[in-house]
Structure 1
């Protein structure tokens, strides 16, 4: 056991003892969560394991400080240490991604996207509106002029990838606030290949003329050419915004470079800090310098007070991501995704786009096993394999039951899995799903949720998964 692990072990045991003295159920749930995560094959593409230093950084008295505003310009006194934390986190973000400007306050990916949307609206709609009236602040507008400006805010257009093609609900999905803020149009993928058709996207953008063109995805298993997205945005006069929440770790780790790195091409880039970046749960906004004044208004524009303890944890995670070890990790994530995809395909599983070149594998479960995504997700959890159901393009089962499952390699790669282990994982997945059948609902007809696993399969696969995981312990030496 390393000195750091031994110190962390003591810290966590003592912390849980203190928590247990106040609310033992929370201490018990915390211990059980570690046990559960240690004993399951975690393949959710949006999850990972933060390092012990990152986890420890979240539990400090920075949690107790209000710090609305920005570095050197707070609405509360006594924020000098928060200024240090935020400055260090922003410095790491700028250097890591080669960004002109970084804003580290967003509490989540959705918050980061909201900050980005409203910053773009402020830059492209509010700023010209104020200049037109010769004033510097919206409070200086007459009531009539303010109503005109409000109308302009509400008449803007956004174009993003559709949910079933692999986009995210914050890219204009109607039930999400992004779909209510803008006149929205979604772009999909080629019906045959499942890939982005840039010519079709350009034609659609020419017709729709969005203010904001959103690139990025949550379930698209391929890379994006951001130079082409920039060309499309420029041709129609759109702001190019990229949501790289899923693949930020591959950008940080220099797996995505050149035209596959969004930062040089986008006006604004958003991301989460967990997922493939392997940090705490939170968000970031990266932007060209011209957008910095509007992005800096994220709090109080759409955010509450900054979570200073989380900004500190982001700083630690971003520092970790600036190391050669993280670059090797990121490359392993991509290599392992290919191994998982190949392992599934050689066992007869149909994959959306026919494979992967990022960290995501999207399996068409309905076509491969005659199950819904929900049935597959549940059967796999019963067997110690944690995935999430996900829509496939033109999904006949909708967004709730779905026809697919999404698999990701960041978490198990953090544990040390390589190509052989991911091939074995593919074998276990197929063993479960090929022995699972849809069950009839009580009133007749096939239920989209009910399923039956053949006797003994779930227990056997879970035991085999635990044996495989035992070779790659999670937080080794940490005993709670």
Structure 2
């Protein structure tokens, strides 16, 4: 085993980090917003770059000694521009939430109206939910999905005509179908609104051509750099509009953030390089294929899926006889990690919910194939059909199965 400084100086913390490494290797990670990042990304994030303050932007810093980090941030920007085929990228947001906040502050005034998908249908807290700062600083109005779980674009258009929002948000955290960015732009244009795309979940599919691209339809787009992109946990903003770009830069710094995290930006650059490789298309295709295997397996077992299936990397299961919390806990006892999730029209609390969300990205990164996902679908059904029972037998199966699919080729802490 490598000689770790953390092990020598803080064995208690080292032991906990090792425990998490063991957990990740002995459980199946199916939370749709999580992934296993690249080794190169972790190296960059654990580097001396964590020591450097660099408030401002390349060549326009408020600190000295930024000659090297200027080059690193510029490299991340150029790779992201190539990856997303756009004219402008800001790679400084610490998260997707902060990327969204920066866009709002760039384009809106206090109490301006935002139209977005409501939470139980798959929206996100930062899309002007009343419990988020975005919903407190701005007026949030929402659209949902129809009885089949799909966006009804005519209904969105009708709501927009009534609300007359300044921004319409498309892009979600739990919507399993493709987004028609062109149709959304038509709706936005009809009421004179900006169209903002939040592709945090689908970015890895978008850059591989496995989901429609938000450009040229969206005025501005936010994303995270982890999830389906497999980079470090962070955010970005991109656009082709020069005026919006200038406003976003000011809204991020000094508007909503201080010093950028240069070690994370280096990790973003490393991740973008991986996304630009030809092999990335194969990965994205596999993620969608594996999602379909899960869909078919669960439908065959008689479970209800929101919208009836999926077009991307995730699916949402809906329950009546038990809660999403019970399902999450039962699957967790079996070594299958998911998250409880609200479903359209959910009558249960967000802490309880009537559904769970599953994703295929992380396990695809881990090297699982279609046969493995078919096996997992069977195990999920086995657990949920015996939700109050003992899951130790399934856990042993999952633990043994996981040993053949290590997260990394060597221990990484």
TM-score (norm 1): 0.84
Alignment of 1:221 with 2:156, yes or no, is: no
Alignment-derived partner of residue 244 in structure 1: 199
> Does structure 1 conserve the Cα–Cα contact (< 8 Å) formed by 2:21 and 2:412?
no
Q: Tell me the alpha carbon deviations over residues 408-466 of structure 1, each in whole angstroms, 9 at most, x when there is no partner.
A: 00000001112211111111111111111xxxxxxxxxxxxxxxx324xx111111112
Alignment-derived partner of residue 350 in structure 1: 304
Residue 198 (structure 1) shift: 0.3
Provide runs of 4+ in structure 1 moved above 4 Å: none
Alignment-derived partner of residue 337 in structure 1: 291
Alignment-derived partner of residue 429 in structure 1: 380
Residue 479 (structure 1) shift: 7.2
Alignment of 1:466 with 2:393, yes or no, is: no
- Work out which of the two has the higher radius of gyration on C-alpha atoms and give 1 or 2: 1
| Aligned pair partner of 1:382 in 306, 322, 333 | 333
Alignment-derived partner of residue 275 in structure 1: 227
- Output aligned runs, 1:52-451, within 5 Å: 52-121=39-108, 153-190=109-146, 192-256=147-211, 260-288=212-240, 289-297=242-250, 298-366=252-320, 370-436=321-387
Give secondary structure in 2 for the equivalent of 1:171: coil
Alignment-derived partner of residue 450 in structure 1: none
Q: Tell me the alpha carbon deviations over residues 226-279 of structure 1, each in whole angstroms, 9 at most, x when there is no partner.
A: 0001111111100000110011110122211xxx21132111100011100001
Q: Which has the higher helix share?
A: 1
Residue 87 (structure 1) shift: 0.4
Distance in 1 of aligned mates of 2:384 and 2:286: 27
Distance in 2 of aligned mates of 1:365 and 1:462: 22
Distance in 2 of aligned mates of 1:323 and 1:181: 41
Q: Tell me the alpha carbon deviations over residues 280-310 of structure 1, each in whole angstroms, 9 at most, x when there is no partner.
A: 0000001122211111111110012100000
Distance in 1 of aligned mates of 2:409 and 2:54: 36
Distance in 1 of aligned mates of 2:110 and 2:32: 34
Residue 182 (structure 1) shift: 1.1
Alignment-derived partner of residue 141 in structure 1: none
Count, aligned residues: 411
Q: Relative to structure 1, is the Cα distance of residues 314 and 479 closer, same or farther in structure 2, using a 3 angstrom cutoff?
A: closer
Residue 472 (structure 1) shift: 2.0
Residue 384 (structure 1) shift: 0.3
| Aligned pair partner of 1:454 in 389, 400, 409 | 389
Alignment-derived partner of residue 11 in structure 2: 24
Residue 357 (structure 1) shift: 0.7
Distance in 2 of aligned mates of 1:461 and 1:320: 35
Unaligned runs of 5+ in 1: 1-9, 122-152, 437-452
Q: Tell me the alpha carbon deviations over residues 343-382 of structure 1, each in whole angstroms, 9 at most, x when there is no partner.
A: 100001100000001001100022xxx1100111011111
